[in-house]
Chains A and B, each alone.
Chain A
């Protein structure tokens, strides 16, 4: 990239990072419910959804899998929407600036540089591996080779995906949004095509009667683990949805479109993943698209899916790197955008050397990230809806220094971080996704619901003691927008 172009991108990104963190005016809120629904449906239909469907039917059959998917995603997405979308939409501010009202300015940085960073690096790595497997399979078909689909060529192609993702990312937000415009409708066509191909070679009876692939003995436990996994999948949208929702024109548009679009897109793609896994033994389309679709259609589909993975990678990496830049204060202010992007890609690149690890640990990864996000959402819901009654001063979010009304304790809402830590640990005590040990309560409540509840209770108690009863940090503030929307 030449110097002039680099400077142009830097300015574009700096503009986005700075102006993107500024509150949107009404004229800039360009999405109605329909627009936002299209965005969220498009985001949801990606190869990770096939993987989620396939992982679900490790534990349960097709009909129970659909039930677990509906239960988990419906509740998980609702918790996610309450914990991200509503706040950012009302005040028109990107998510991590808005969360200063919950965690404090330094507290947000802690959340971003730990939970958000690691979760999004994990998803980036997984998308890279899926790309690598797709292109390994294409090579096998094109050259008659028999490369191992977890072998070194997967790593080579995965690293290629990360490099391509970095190039797209380095060019800034305009390139990413242009690419998404044609990837999204293409994915819907691909998903429908995949399902047609699958069912042309199998019967509905076969599908409905197919046993789960690797269940435990306890059927109730299997079902609840499937539900919990889908709860985690629903919650996994938390890091990016608030910032998108600020572009919508009203609270109902934001909430219904985020929940509804993600729900519909996820259901469509997961059903294909479930059916593929049960009928062929593999949720990942790289394993069966060519045998089912034939060499030409199969390879074209894989090419498209591989490309879609890279654009999805660039989208989530962009949101995360932007959050890092904005949360870092002066620390990253003078680091060039492509360098920060490259830094973000280091861990995902390392993980591509262990493609089977990422694949095999997919469910564990989703569940562990869900543990932390559930806790975060519980704290945010308690703060925004119960203590603040949806009142957050836009101006206060941009204040700094000793005059900052949202200063908490040196920039940290201690109650919020303690509640997140306790509730995450509580989740992992109820359900340890590494050892697969569960407490008896898990079979009736999942781990997510008690964790969210505990996060709310702990936060309400601690925050009241530390901050709310003292009347500081704008608890009990007058709602400047009290007349908004009222006739």
Chain B
């Protein structure tokens, strides 16, 4: 008989357990970790300024 390739019910349970384990770890141990930091307003401004600055400089050179 062809063996089922896709996860049987026990593996679905394992998956749910793994998901719960990861969520618990993230919500308890990683709450203050910089990996989950929001992109700061300053970073957004600097990044946007650099991207627009390069575009503006290229535009000016093209116009000259």
Contacts and interface: CB of A to CB of B under 8 A. Distances in A.
Contacts of B36: 90-92, 481, 484-485
Contacts, number: 130
A5 to B, nearest CB: 12
Interface in B1-49: 3, 5-7, 15, 18-19, 22-23, 25-27, 29-40, 43-44, 47-48
Contact of B18 (A10, A19, A63, A75): A19
Contact of B38 (A81, A249, A481): A481
Given A67-B61, A70-B58, A398-B19, A7 B5 contact: yes
A222 to B, nearest CB: 11
Question: By CB atoms of chain A within 10 A, which of B7, B26, B51, B55 has the most?
Answer: B51
Nearest to B25: A25
Question: By CB atoms of chain A within 10 A, which of B36, B37, B43 has the most?
Answer: B36
Question: By CB atoms of chain B within 10 A, which of A78, A334, A336 has the most?
Answer: A78
B55 A251 contact: no
Interface string A247-289: 0011110011001000000000000000000000000000000
B52 to A, nearest CB: 7
A255 B23 contact: no
B40 to A, nearest CB: 8
A13 to B, nearest CB: 10
Given A19-B18, A25-B30, A485-B34, A223 B62 contact: yes
A482 to B, nearest CB: 8
B43 A75 contact: no
Contacts of B7: 14, 18
A189 interface: no
Interface in A84-123: 86, 90-92
Contacts of A25: 22, 25-26, 30
Interface residues of B, number: 37
A66 B57 CA distance: 12
Contacts of A22: 18-19, 22
A59 B21 CA distance: 55
B38 A67 contact: no
A480 interface: yes
A485 B26 CA distance: 14
A78 B51 contact: yes
B6 A333 contact: yes
B35 A249 contact: yes
A64 interface: yes
Contacts of A256: 47
A160 interface: no
Nearest to B2: A3
B61 to A, nearest CB: 6
Contacts of A18: 7, 15
A484 B51 contact: no
A74 interface: yes
A29 B52 CA distance: 30
Nearest to B14: A18
Given A252-B43, A394-B23, A394-B26, A29 B62 contact: no
20 contacts: A19-B18, A25-B30, A26-B29, A26-B35, A64-B62, A71-B55, A71-B59, A86-B39, A92-B26, A249-B35, A251-B37, A251-B39, A251-B40, A252-B39, A255-B43, A334-B6, A394-B27, A398-B23, A484-B37, A485-B37
Interface of B: 3, 5-7, 15, 18-19, 22-23, 25-27, 29-40, 43-44, 47-48, 51-52, 54-55, 57-59, 61-62
Given A11-B5, A23-B22, A484-B37, 15 more contacts: A7-B3, A7-B5, A14-B5, A19-B15, A25-B30, A26-B35, A71-B58, A77-B51, A92-B35, A251-B43, A336-B5, A394-B27, A395-B23, A480-B27, A486-B37
